[in-house]
């Protein structure tokens, strides 16, 4: 009887809980055999050890480099560094990280069959930490297949092959833990995060998908963090390969914009539902952006139909477009979306400094809710703060505990607009505030000039006690 009750209960459970079918995993044995011949070990000789900051403010990439332990060569003035790379063409072109070959007097590549070859650095790019090497093989070499990192999905299996701690041809496997990681390595941060074991010496090695295609270049780790590694997406690298091969360096496209992130206060001031997009704080002229009709205060939502969630996304997407080609921008202006085509060209020189002029002195305070002491632009204030703006009102002090104190405003900043209303002096700003019946209850946006830089500041209203 007990057996019958148990069987009935088990049947009920089986009906309630859906079965999960787990298929066969990737064939890592086959993949390892096929892929290892295209992975190389890289050693470099340098005059001095790498200079690594020890002030506790290192980026994740600095911490990764700190774990590279050089070994003494026969020449006591030289030190050996080890890294990884992979062959991208049968005639001996190899990709690796730039930091693997930085300051190298000599670069040696060791292939999977144990042969060593001297190599030259064809080109490198500091911003993506990529280097292209070339050596002369005696025979045709196996090369990797390049995949599409844009199609990579979180949870997908990946395989890393490299030279961790000098242990040649080490294979590790894991999954894609996240995409689009920003770790502070540079303006084009867009790392693939993986829990495939990556250690010092893996740097520059390939990250493969289960089709045997390279989808990333292993670049950095979180120190003291197990199972957290980062790889540069291969699509970002293939976009610059022609320039590396032919020019030895990379020239990226330029729109002629200054952009900034959208804070929650700015999102409220612009009446946005979220903080996605890149806020245009200045448009250089002449520039492709000016020709395309962009203005400060525009919010770029998409670039070639790809969503721009943060300003790093826009920088990265622009960098991937070959010079001379055009892109379509989806822009939000005063609540309405529109599209414009912009040409991607080589960077122009720095934007010219704005002319200077003096206005009669006038000092006053903005309403206490904002918490600003203001003054017109005078010669003493120009000299004190290095003011370049030709009009506007100068922030001379900020009241502690006020709404402005919660923003990034600083004395010497010049306010040019209040909620898109141009202000030429302090009186015009105070008038604009007095006409804004809702400033006590909603965020306001200010267009600010600091030196040659223009940016927006959102000031959220301070909560009153009865708001609690």
Active site residue ranges: 99, 129, 203
Contact 370, 358 (CB under 8 A): no
**Those residues with Cβ within 8 angstroms of residue 269's Cβ, 6 or more apart along the chain or in another chain:** 419, 442, 443, 444, 445, 458
Cα 260 to Cα 123, 180, 419, distances in angstroms: 31, 18, 17
**What is the residue-wise DSSP string for 173-184?**
EEEEEEEEE--S
Nearest to 344 by CA among 287, 271, 302: 287
298 is written with which tokens?
């525009």
How many residues appear in the chain? 468
The three-point CA angle 99-143-198 to 5° equals 40
Q: How far apart are CA 20 and CA 14, in angstroms?
A: 11
Read off φ and ψ for residue 264, nearest 5 degrees.
Answer: -55, -40
| Whole-number Å distance between alpha carbons of 19 and 347 | 57
Residue by residue, DSSP assigns 289-325 as HHHTT--TT-EEEEETTEE--SHHHHHHHHHTSPTT-
- CB-based burial of residue 244 (10 Å sphere; 0-12 exposed, 13-18 middle, 19+ buried)? buried
Going by C-beta distance under 8 Å and a sequence separation of 6 or more, which residues neighbour residue 352? none
Q: Which residue has the tokens 């909603």?
A: 442
**Which pairs from 57-62 meet CB under 8 Å and 24+ separation?**
59/183, 59/184, 59/185, 60/183, 60/184, 60/185, 60/220, 60/221, 60/222, 60/223, 60/230, 61/99, 61/129, 61/183, 61/185, 61/219, 61/220
**What tokens appear for 12 in the block?**
């009920």
């Amino acid at each position: 009887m007990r057996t019958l009750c148990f069987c009935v209960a088990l049947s009920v459970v089986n009906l309630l809980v859906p079965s999960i079918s787990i298929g066969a995993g990737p064939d890592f044995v086959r993949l390892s055999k096929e892929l290892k011949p295209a992975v190389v070990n890289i050693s470099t000789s340098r005059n001095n050890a790498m200079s690594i900051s020890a002030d506790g403010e290192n980026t994740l990439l600095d911490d990764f480099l700190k774990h590279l332990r050089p070994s003494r060569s026969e020449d006591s003035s030289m030190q050996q560094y080890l890294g990884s790379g992979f062959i991208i063409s049968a005639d001996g072109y190899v990709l690796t990280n730039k930091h693997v070959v930085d300051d190298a007097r000599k670069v040696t590549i060791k292939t999977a069959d144990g042969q060593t070859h001297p190599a030259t650095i064809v080109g490198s790019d500091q911003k993506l930490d990529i280097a292209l090497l070339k050596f002369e093989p005696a025979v045709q070499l196996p090369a990797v297949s390049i995949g599409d990192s844009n199609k990579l999905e979180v949870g997908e299996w990946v395989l890393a092959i490299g030279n961790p701690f000098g242990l040649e041809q080490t294979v590790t496997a894991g999954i894609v833990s996240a995409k689009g990681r920003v770790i502070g390595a540079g303006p084009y941060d867009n790392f693939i995060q993986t829990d495939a074991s990556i250690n010092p010496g893996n740097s520059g090695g390939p990250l493969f998908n289960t089709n045997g295609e390279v989808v990333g270049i292993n670049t950095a780790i979180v120190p003291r963090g197990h199972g957290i590694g980062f790889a540069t997406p291969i699509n970002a690298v293939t976009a610059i390969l022609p320039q590396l091969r032919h020019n030895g360096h990379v020239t990226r496209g330029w729109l002629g914009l200054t952009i900034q992130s959208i804070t929650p206060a700015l999102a409220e001031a612009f009446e946005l539902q979220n903080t996605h997009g890149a806020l245009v704080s200045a448009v250089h002229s002449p520039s492709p952006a000016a020709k395309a009709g962009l203005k400060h205060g525009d919010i770029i939502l998409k670039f070639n139909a790809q969503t721009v969630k943060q300003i790093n996304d826009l920088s990265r997407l622009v960098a991937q477009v070959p010079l001379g080609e055009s892109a379509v921008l989806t822009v939000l202006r005063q609540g309405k979306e529109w599209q414009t085509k912009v040409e991607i060209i080589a960077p122009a020189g720095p934007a010219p400094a704005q002319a200077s002029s003096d206005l009669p002195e006038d000092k006053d305070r903005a309403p206490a809710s904002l918490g600003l002491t203001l003054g017109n632009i005078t010669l003493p204030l120009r000299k004190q703060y290095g003011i370049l703006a030709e009009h506007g009102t100068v922030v001379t002090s900020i009241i502690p505990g006020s709404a402005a104190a919660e923003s990034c405003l600083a004395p010497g900043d010049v306010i040019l607009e209040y909620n898109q209303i141009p202000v030429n002096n302090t009186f015009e700003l105070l008038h604009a505030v007095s006409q804004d019946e809702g400033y006590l209850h909603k965020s306001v946006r200010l267009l600010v000039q600091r030196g040659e830089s223009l940016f927006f500041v959102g000031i959220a209203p301070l909560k009153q006690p009865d708001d609690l």
